[in-house]
Structure 1
Amino acid sequence: MRHGKKVNHLSRTDSHRRAMLANMASSLILHKRITTTLAKAKALRVYVEPIITKSKDDTTHSRRTVFSYLQNKEVVSILFRDVAAKVASRPGGYTRILKMGNRLGDNASMALIELVDYNEIYTNGDAAAAEKKTTRRRGSKAKKADAPAAGAKAPKAEAAPAEEAVVVEETPVAETKAEPKAPKAEATPVVEEAPAAEEAAPEAPAKGDDKEEKKA
């Protein structure tokens, strides 16, 4: 029975348990995710999250306190330089445990524990949700009071009296009858006259007749 058993001793002595959790916490900070048994992952989450919260206050006292737990200068510098800046806006819940099934050798339930802010698959959706602001627009009471009721109809505007139309009588225009035009004379075709035949020249008298005339 587990009456009054608040801490899982993990079948180890206190000194062995603390040394093991310190090494696992150092590996988690250094590699951002580790695979272990489900029982150890749950014990590590309780051990490492207060240390990460302590790293948000970057003072000499905080560094000495964290070093007393981890016993590793390199891990302490990474925690205060990189991890603390990454989790600055997160109020707790720095780790995530994912179950991975049972181990083949002893059938122990395995799990993966990781730092939440270093998982790019999940943090992309969180960042998009954080950028989208959900605000509701609600009208003030003064605006609602000034606005007319929805059921009441607005009074119709009276139509302005129409101006009297001025009638202008048009003077009748005398119609002039157009005289019928005379039909155009058809042009007679011009017939080209044939050139007159050349008048026949008088025949010249023969030479014998001239001589006879001279004798006479």
Structure 2
Amino acid sequence: MKHQVKHYKLGRDTKHRTALRYNLIRSTVLHKKIDTTLAKAKCVQPILEKLITKAKISNLETRRYLLSFFRNDEIVVKRIFEIAEQLKEINGGYSKIVKLGQRKGDSAHIARLCFSGDIL
């Protein structure tokens, strides 16, 4: 039995799933909000929270870690540290999931993953 182990497979193999998570996190950081399915938003939210917590500590080690994750200097310097600076006073709960209803085509539950606070 798997007790207290929460993994989202999302109907994909491992490489596709990791690429999907990376792209969703990158889009969320770039655009500050995304509309996606509820399962994908729940899968990405804990990873995004941990990256923001790490970005709040601004040193060389953190910068290198974020560069290895995002593989793009523009995202790390201009976006992620800017978001972390705006969320400096908050101790957790940097992002929120807002349910938007169901998609008309396949009735999938749609949600908006966005940052909490005055960032939008």
Please indicate, yes or no, whether the TM-score normalized by the shorter chain is above 0.5: yes
Structure 2: tracts of 5 or more residues without a match = none
Moved over 3 A (4+): none
Query: In structure 2, what is the equivalent of residue 169 of structure 1?
Result: none
- Asked if 2 retains the 8 angstrom alpha-carbon contact of 1:25 and 1:70, the reply is no
- Asked if 2 retains the 8 angstrom alpha-carbon contact of 1:32 and 1:118, the reply is no
The 3-state SS of whatever aligns with 2:36 is strand
The 3-state SS of whatever aligns with 2:117 is helix
- Asked if 1 retains the 8 angstrom alpha-carbon contact of 2:86 and 2:119, the reply is no
Query: In structure 2, what is the equivalent of residue 9 of structure 1?
Result: 9
TM superposition shift of 1:58:
1.1
Query: In structure 2, what is the equivalent of residue 28 of structure 1?
Result: 28
Identity %: 37
Query: In structure 2, what is the equivalent of residue 40 of structure 1?
Result: 40
Query: 1 or 2 for the larger relative contact order (CA 8 Å, sep ≥6)?
Result: 2
Query: In structure 2, what is the equivalent of residue 98 of structure 1?
Result: 98
- State the TM-score, normalizing by the size of structure 1: 0.51
Letter aligned with residue 69 of structure 1 = F
TM superposition shift of 1:72:
2.3
The 3-state SS of whatever aligns with 1:58 is coil
Query: In structure 2, what is the equivalent of residue 115 of structure 1?
Result: 115
- State the TM-score, normalizing by the size of structure 2: 0.89
- Asked if 2 retains the 8 angstrom alpha-carbon contact of 1:26 and 1:72, the reply is no
In 1: Cα distance, 2:87 partner to 2:14 partner:
30
- Structure with bigger strand share is 2
Structure 1: tracts of 5 or more residues without a match = 121-216
The 3-state SS of whatever aligns with 2:100 is strand
TM superposition shift of 1:95:
0.4
In 2: Cα distance, 1:114 partner to 1:12 partner:
24
Matches within 5 A, 1:80-91: 80=81, 82-91=82-91
Query: In structure 1, what is the equivalent of residue 53 of structure 2?
Result: 53
TM superposition shift of 1:119:
5.3
Structure with the greater alpha carbon radius of gyration: 1
**Does 1:19 find its partner at 2:19?**
yes
**CA RMSD in angstroms, aligned pairs only:** 1.5
- Structure with bigger helix share is 2
Deviations 1:87-128 (A, max 9, x none): 1111010001010111111110000010002356xxxxxxxx
The 3-state SS of whatever aligns with 1:117 is coil
**Does 1:62 find its partner at 2:62?**
yes
The 3-state SS of whatever aligns with 1:118 is coil
